[in-house]
Structure 1
């Protein structure tokens, strides 16, 4: 009360916006803002934050302004966690569309599964939805440097998750599988760019996803995982098919010792393309 309602206050100072910022790593920067010149604030943060972080900061700022105007018109305000997650998904999709991957270049020519380096193993992961988002299937497929099927795993998460949360759980389950198998050198691939980016960078969320991301980072440190990377759906067909097939069958949790018969043609096609 008593503070003027301008753009600066609406986005970074009012109580309605602060509850959103507290769910991000940017809150520490927001608290340090003293000058109320919006242009100066943005310029200073542009010099402090990495390019990708600044892009995400700008997206969240704009979304807070957008939501603020919708709320004034009587629409329901989203939960802070939902707003931040939406912003991260939006940012992740723009990264793929613009051909960037964590600040680097995304190889758009890669539309097939590729074997890992000699002596290494690759684990492809994906998530499938059950019961309209009330439970999710995580699928992982393990293949060696010749493309041979080493094993796989499916597991059911009996809890409501967002799509991004389910993809992060799939990454975590793939890492767990590699660690439990005692693999000395392996990589994990997912076709969810936002999940991959969150797995590879400092924590951005301060909500229920934080625990899953922390698990991922701990597993990377203690396992033989060398990389978590993004690939297009075309290069993740077997894991995607396993997640969908498991959803159809209603299987809750099991190890996969061989390629399911209904997915053998997918496995064979990926193997042939990789040669």
Structure 2
């Protein structure tokens, strides 16, 4: 049983040609973009438009990699942290993330799990805003903490994917209070 989405993709790709694997990944990417367009812009691209853009991108990617790198290589091991790790016994881990669209929408997401991996809550929020990425990450952190507090959860461990935010908070050179204003 794979421990991460990356491992699952690699297991799945073992029996695929490099070309089929890359085409499949591009298709997944376009499906994800279409989903985000629906969620954040309430717009839906037709299947035909999605497949046409997919075909163009795959062709362009193939030409580019051939020209620059002399071709493509088979899939390799995923990078980054492979697995979500549970918090210590008696703690709650709140993971937060943010999505920023070019047309002024910001999506915030939070999910809390206990030490056994059980989901305690999940929440999303969408706002019309033009925040810098660091401010948006802070808003997501505050959003997650606020939701956890509303659920009377204690011993919270906050997990964000902004290295800059983590670094500033650890150094004490930044306060979440600085971004409290606004819709969240």
Relative contact order: is structure 1 or structure 2 higher (C-alpha 8 Å, sep ≥ 6)?
Answer: 1
Higher helix share: 1
Structure whose CA Rg is larger: 1
